[in-house]
Amino acid sequence: MSMSFDLKLSLQQRAEPSAQQKKLNRLIDKIEQQKISLSMWQNAQAEIQQHTRQKLLPVYSELYEILFQQLEQLWNMLHSHEFSKVDLQQLDEKIAQLAQFLKRSKILKDEQLKLIQQIDTFYQQHTHQSAKKNKKVQSVKFELNENFDQNIELEEDDFEQYAAEQQQAREQAKQLRQQQKREQAEQMAAQSLKTAYLKIAAMIHPDRERDETKKEEKTELFQQASQAYEQQDLFYLLKLQLQLEQNKGVGVKELSAEQVKFYKLALDAQSQQLESQIEEILDSFQLAKKVKAEHLHMSDVYKAIDVDCAELKQQLKWEKERLKHMKKVSGVEMLLGHGVL
């Protein structure tokens, strides 16, 4: 929708706008930039996603295939060879990790996923049974050294689990705060939209105008306002309302503190909404490192995709090397010995 009026609170007959009006002007500037930025990312989104798929999907497909072969190899070896208790623990952990990681894959074949699911279920049940046993162990007095060592191991596991749960809780709390912030911004925007529209309608309703030329102008303006209201274009309505407030009456009318507060809240809500929309688009690129929307150029996203791709290829190279060693028992023992299984 094209703007037929100046965007800013430019009070023509004042040499210097007030501090509050400068604040609103800065907000209007920020939103203008965000709207341009959002439009740019919306236009580029499909192209960037296509580029990401072309660059990363083949590497991901190969990586998942190699990891599946590792899982299959280790699972078969576990059943056909004898390993020490320490090695066995490492092997179990590695196989369980691989199964847990691969079971969410949308790239692997159904028959591969079936085996992954079986292995994952086995380890989940196994962990559950171990946990039951461990509870019994904890309730017994630790008289023997063996039991004492077992308790230390349990405490370490408990601590790791506790730390992981705390981290997860923090992440969830952060997401919840962001969600609440978004919802508040949306509520505020919806409320402001209605308020701005009703005020504009009261100020320019064409039926109240006797002058035919002015009536025509007001009719057109009212239609634009109604269209903006339907499209939920709060920014357009706020700017139109501001313009009308300033043009009302003789000379320039100062905005009251209440009006300034309303515009500030409404513009903040609009800015927050635009920021969320831009972030959603950037999240859809699924880059390994989170990038900030501010001062971000299109070329930065393509560079980030290239970096992701290079890192992924490096990982693929290492996993292929690891798989070579996994094909022999001596190779697996070597990896276990160096702690790099």
What pLDDT is recorded for position 17? 61
In angstroms, the CA 261 to CA 257 distance is 6
Reported for 293-299, long-range contacts at CB under 8 A and 24+ positions apart, including other chains, are 293/37, 298/40, 298/44, 298/48
Q: Identify the DSSP state of 9.
A: -
In angstroms, the CA 320 to CA 6 distance is 62
What pLDDT is recorded for position 160? 54
What pLDDT is recorded for position 171? 67
Domain boundaries, the chain: 43-139+295-341
CA atoms within 13 A on the CB side of 172: 6
Distances 70 to 48, 73, 190, 327 between C-alpha atoms, Å: 32, 5, 54, 9
pLDDT in tens, 129-143: 655 555 544 444 343
What pLDDT is recorded for position 15? 44
- Model pTM score: 0.58
Q: Where are the alpha helices (DSSP H) in the chain?
A: 19-80, 85-102, 110-139, 145-204, 212-230, 234-247, 257-284, 298-326, 329-337
In angstroms, the CA 142 to CA 213 distance is 96
**CA dihedral sign, ordered 161, 167, 168, 170:** positive
Positions of the chain with pLDDT lower than 70, given as ranges: 1-18, 128-167, 169, 171, 174, 185, 246, 248-255, 291-295
At 237 the three-state DSSP class reads helix
What pLDDT is recorded for position 117? 94
In this structure, the dihedral spanned by the alpha carbons of residues 294, 298, 304 and 307, taken in order and rounded to 10 degrees, is: -150
What pLDDT is recorded for position 137? 43
pLDDT in tens, 67-103: 999 999 999 998 899 888 899 999 999 999 999 999 9
What pLDDT is recorded for position 164? 59
What pLDDT is recorded for position 28? 87
